[in-house]
Structure 1
Amino acid sequence: MAIVNLKDKTIQIKIVYYGPGRSGKTTNLEYIHNKLQQNKKQKTSKLVSIDTKGDRTLFFDFFPVSLGKINGFDLKLKLYTTPGQVKYEATRRLVLKGVDGVVFVADSLASRQDANLESFENLKSNLQYHQQALSDIQLAFQWNKQDINEQMIPLASISDMERALNSELKVKAFPSSAVSGMNVIKTVNYISKQTVKSVIQKTILSRQKLAGK
């Protein structure tokens, strides 16, 4: 849930990178953070890592210069990853609390398609735990690891992943490589803009309801 700070004149929005273990969530955030660090105009916090055995939770925040001010308020984005392994369920739920937008990082390896489905169902379940639905948040998909040589390692087709995960939702999806950076910045720019639009619309509706009472 977006937080409006009247004292600091900021609107804080939370975006979470979700998906199965080793799908590329951590690599996404590391790539984004490194790119932002290279841009001297950006105000970026340190990339914080909470290590667990075989998985990590990362987070940092920044003020996206490209999106500018919103009604005189600075926009502050907080980006998080979740651990992919099932044993870290409590951590995933904690990270999802108050989320405004999600990037679901799907693994393009053919052998990982069941893991994608399991993780996506887990996302819906954990949102319900916080009394949220997919329709309450902004969502985008990444079909990650598209840089892998299919002659070496079999990949699922993008059309198959679309049918499995996005046939009903029909939200924006990006073929990507978190390692090379292909569409990594495009994804975060897209989800940020869509989430900001959604938050503004919800704020306007809320004010209209209050005014009508």
Structure 2
Amino acid sequence: MIEYDSEERRMVLKFVYYGPALSGKTTNLLRLHDLLAKEGRGDLMVLDTKDDRTIFFDLLPFFLVAPSGLKIKVKVYTVPGQVQHDATRKAVLQRADGVAFIADSRRSEAKNNAESFGNLERNLSIVGIAIDKLPLVLQYNKRDLPDILPEEEIHRAWGPTGFPVILSSALEGWGVVETFRALAERAYDALDRRHDFGGTHGLTRGAFAERLVRQPG
């Protein structure tokens, strides 16, 4: 799945924000882009679909150079949550190196969350990615709203999966960087198993995550 050019010593990673319509995927990326240090992020590019108020995808590139000289770029995409855009979701998921599933914390959205996660599992299978091998984190967004699922209920439901669960209000800006950090750390673990990031490239888990989520100040 990883784009890797041994001659150029360059690696490109792809993270995808997935979830039901209006769960806050776009807001997450907009807030993340705002919260990161300007010199550590690229321009945010937005494409609007013709018949949808959400975006087609966001692209957020970062650049990092390991002590070995390996150049690493990370691209972050969103996918539209509406059913009619399922073909787009499959296309964006191809070659994904990590997924952040953005759920809506409101009790009324529990069914939509479950259906969207099931859609994620099916689409990953279609594009040839095993969900149990993929770095994946869950974010329960919109914690600033009323009638949300209790934290205990969320952890009881997802605890057995082993996926990290982060509570968030992307609109208020909290939980956003923490979600991306958790995804970066899980992605590092997967990369280290395959490419010996620590031994061969001298890049530690902490340094990888800290470089990606570096904030102003």
TM-score bucket (shorter structure)? 0.7 to 0.9
Once residues 142 and 133 of structure 2 are traced to their aligned partners in structure 1, the CA distance between those partners, rounded to angstroms, is: 28
Kindly provide the amino acid, as one letter, of the partner of residue 194 in structure 1. R
C-alpha distance after superposition, 1:6-61 (max 9, x if no partner): 3543211111111100000010011112233xx24314133232424233222223
Q: Residue 32 of structure 2 aligns with which residue?
A: 32
Kindly provide the amino acid, as one letter, of the partner of residue 138 in structure 1. P
Task: Name the SS for the 1:79 alignment partner.
Answer: strand
Distance 1:40 1:104, change over 3 A: closer
Runs of 4+ in structure 1 over 4 Å off: none
Once residues 57 and 167 of structure 1 are traced to their aligned partners in structure 2, the CA distance between those partners, rounded to angstroms, is: 31
Identity of aligned residues (%): 32
Q: Residue 185 of structure 2 aligns with which residue?
A: 193
Once residues 11 and 67 of structure 2 are traced to their aligned partners in structure 1, the CA distance between those partners, rounded to angstroms, is: 8
CA contact (8 A) 2:18 2:102 kept: yes
Distance 1:192 1:70, change over 3 A: farther
Q: Residue 199 of structure 2 aligns with which residue?
A: none
Once residues 179 and 147 of structure 1 are traced to their aligned partners in structure 2, the CA distance between those partners, rounded to angstroms, is: 8
Task: Name the SS for the 1:22 alignment partner.
Answer: coil
Q: Residue 98 of structure 1 aligns with which residue?
A: 95
CA contact (8 A) 2:46 2:55 kept: no
Once residues 10 and 179 of structure 1 are traced to their aligned partners in structure 2, the CA distance between those partners, rounded to angstroms, is: 35
How far is the alpha carbon of 1:3 from its aligned partner?
Answer: 1.1
Once residues 159 and 173 of structure 1 are traced to their aligned partners in structure 2, the CA distance between those partners, rounded to angstroms, is: 11
CA RMSD of aligned residues (A): 2.0
Q: Which runs of 5+ in 1 are unaligned?
A: 205-213
Distance 1:53 1:112, change over 3 A: same
Q: Residue 208 of structure 1 aligns with which residue?
A: none
So what's the TM-score if we normalise by structure 1? Answer: 0.84
Once residues 7 and 44 of structure 1 are traced to their aligned partners in structure 2, the CA distance between those partners, rounded to angstroms, is: 24
2:12 paired with 1:20: no
Kindly provide the amino acid, as one letter, of the partner of residue 30 in structure 2. E
How far is the alpha carbon of 1:115 from its aligned partner?
Answer: 0.3
Which of residues 72, 76, 79 in structure 2 aligns to 1:79?
Answer: 76
2:156 paired with 1:156: no
Once residues 176 and 50 of structure 2 are traced to their aligned partners in structure 1, the CA distance between those partners, rounded to angstroms, is: 25
Kindly provide the amino acid, as one letter, of the partner of residue 154 in structure 2. M
Q: Residue 58 of structure 1 aligns with which residue?
A: 57
Once residues 70 and 109 of structure 1 are traced to their aligned partners in structure 2, the CA distance between those partners, rounded to angstroms, is: 44
Task: Name the SS for the 2:61 alignment partner.
Answer: strand
So what's the TM-score if we normalise by structure 2? Answer: 0.82
Task: Name the SS for the 1:136 alignment partner.
Answer: coil
